[in-house]
Amino acid sequence: MTDWIATPDDADGPPRVPSGESIKLFVYGTLKSGHPNHWLLDCCQHEANGAVHGTLYSLLHYPAATFHPDDPRLVHGEIYDVPGYEVEALDEGAGTSHGAFRRVQVKVAEGSMAGQTVWAYEGARVFAITVLPDGVWEPGALFTQKQKQP
């Protein structure tokens, strides 16, 4: 297995998951517990908290991350077991069909699942946005953290 696996950028979108299977999904923003879109994970089992190598950006009302195993920064979040029948709805909610985000595989760097490969939504169009240096997004994070431009 390689350290970095990205979903091919093609017209078919992210790979389909058979309804009888499940995936592990790393979430770092509005899908996290206590945040506005967490209800989309109501049928999912929380597996662990963790961190993935990458950079977290604030897009004001929600975050976007870019992931790379050589990035010294960490994006902190939660990992859920998501049934296959829910994955397509989550992909749509994340904006994969119109190219805002893409579902990619990343390796967990910290936490009880360190070393395991999980899925995450990566910002596909991140540009000139504020970096969140501590790797944690909260509503209003743009205004509460010391800003660094990429």
DSSP secondary structure letter of residue 16: P
Query: Which pLDDT score, from 0 to 100, does residue 98 have?
Result: 81
Domain residue ranges of the chain, discontinuous segments joined by +: 22-144
For the chain, give the number of residues: 150
Q: Mean pLDDT, to the nearest integer, of 45-68?
A: 92
Span 81-139, pLDDT tens digits: 999 999 999 998 888 888 889 999 999 999 999 999 999 999 887 665 678 888 888 77
Query: Which pLDDT score, from 0 to 100, does residue 16 have?
Result: 83
Query: Residue 2: is its pLDDT beyond 60?
Result: no
Query: Which pLDDT score, from 0 to 100, does residue 23 have?
Result: 96
Percent share of the chain, pLDDT over 90: 55
Report whether 78 contacts 49 (CB < 8 A).
Answer: yes
- Residue 71 pLDDT grade (very low, low, confident, very high; cuts 50, 70, 90): very high
Residue scoring higher pLDDT (144 or 80): 80
The pair of structure tokens assigned to 97 is: 């069909």
The hierarchical CATH code for the domain 22-144 is 3.10.490.10
First to last CA, the chain: 30
